[in-house]
Structure 1
């Protein structure tokens, strides 16, 4: 394909280098997205794998099962992120109302980036514990803090999954494919 475009034998090396540079940019931006809430980090990493497969001259080394593994890791991380605030609230002794409030607060908090992602579950768990479960201030605060701890745990999981996705992709490209 590259020779048809350029007709020059050195174009393959230039195309391969350019493809690797763009793929590396996808992976670095995706890893940054594990820390920066407005960037869908895991999705960007998956798109980097797709880009590499489609554009790399010759055999890219990315196998179909790698896309499956990357997609499953992406889905698992997203599910964990959505339920982590509620799970943290319950783990710290909150009621089902606190867990529900943390979940609702997490969704509302997405619209108030970046602080809303941490404060949303905390405020939601506290408010639901106080209003619906009729908890005193201290148990409601503990439930809210639990939701914040769960949300922070999801950040750690996001980073671990992002690194795992990158390592999986690079191992597939460099050693397996």
Structure 2
């Protein structure tokens, strides 16, 4: 096996591992790194790269991972009785929280949901806190689902690049 191939595979595997870690650690765009690993590997080693269908599946999983990120907190809040205002607060808090990572990624949706429930939906503290707790639980479930999608992305890469 030529040395160049070892280098390409080493880079690819490092990106895949960091991508898996990044699917649960703030600041690391995990699924995007996994997608990049597929592209880089295919460009550097076309004979052992991915097919068009592999990239289509990888792209769909990438989009799914980001949809899960944005929707999970709002769905959890809704499950625990949040109003439309509370869900809007979760979304806005999530966007603002991205600028204050890593703690803002957790606290942003939580504070945004509670604040919007208290200020705009005119809810009392207990129902507002309950919907904010739902946002936190939804975000946790979303994190687990994102990890599952990241593992599916890695499996897609290996199945497509090595098997087909």
Q: Give 2:142's match in structure 1, choosing from 145, 150, 154.
A: 154
Deviation at 1:84, TM superposition (A): 1.3
Which of 37, 46, 68 in structure 1 is aligned with 2:26?
A: 37
Which 4+ stretches in 1 moved above 4 angstroms?
none
Please give the alpha-carbon distance, in whole angstroms, between the structure 2 residues aligned to 1:85 and 1:66: 30
Higher relative contact order (CA 8 A, sep 6+): 2
Provide the alpha-carbon RMSD of the alignment: 1.1
Q: Which has the higher helix share?
A: 2
Contact 1:122 1:147 in 2 (8 A): yes
Structure 2: runs of 5 or more not aligned: none
Summarize the alignment of residues 4-83 of structure 1 with structure 2, pairs less than 5 Å apart: 13-56=2-45, 59-83=47-71
**Contact preservation (8 Å) 1:125, 1:147:** yes
Give the equivalent residue in structure 2 for 1:165. Answer: 153
Q: Does 2:97 match 1:109? A: yes
Find the aligned partners of 2:108 and 2:76 in 1 and give their Cα distance.
Answer: 13
Deviation, structure 1 residue 102? 0.7
Query: Which protein is bigger by CA-based radius of gyration?
Result: 1
2:38/2:49 contact within 8 Å kept: no
Q: What is the aligned partner in structure 2 of residue 94 from structure 1?
A: 82
Structure 2 CA distance for aligned equivalents of residues 34 and 79 of structure 1: 13
The offset of 1:61, in angstroms, is: 3.9
**1: CA distance, partners of 2:65 / 2:43:** 25
Q: TM-score, length-normalised on structure 2? A: 0.96
Which whole-Å CA distance do the structure 2 matches of 1:73 and 1:174 have between them? 19
Question: Which secondary structure does the structure 2 equivalent of 1:111 belong to?
Answer: helix
> Would the aligned equivalents of 2:94 and 2:109 in 1 still touch at CA under 8 Å?
yes
Give the TM-score taking structure 1 as reference length: 0.89
Equivalent-residue separation in structure 1 for 2:98 and 2:110 (angstroms) = 13
Note if contact 2:48-2:162 (Cα within 8 Å) is conserved in structure 1.
Answer: no
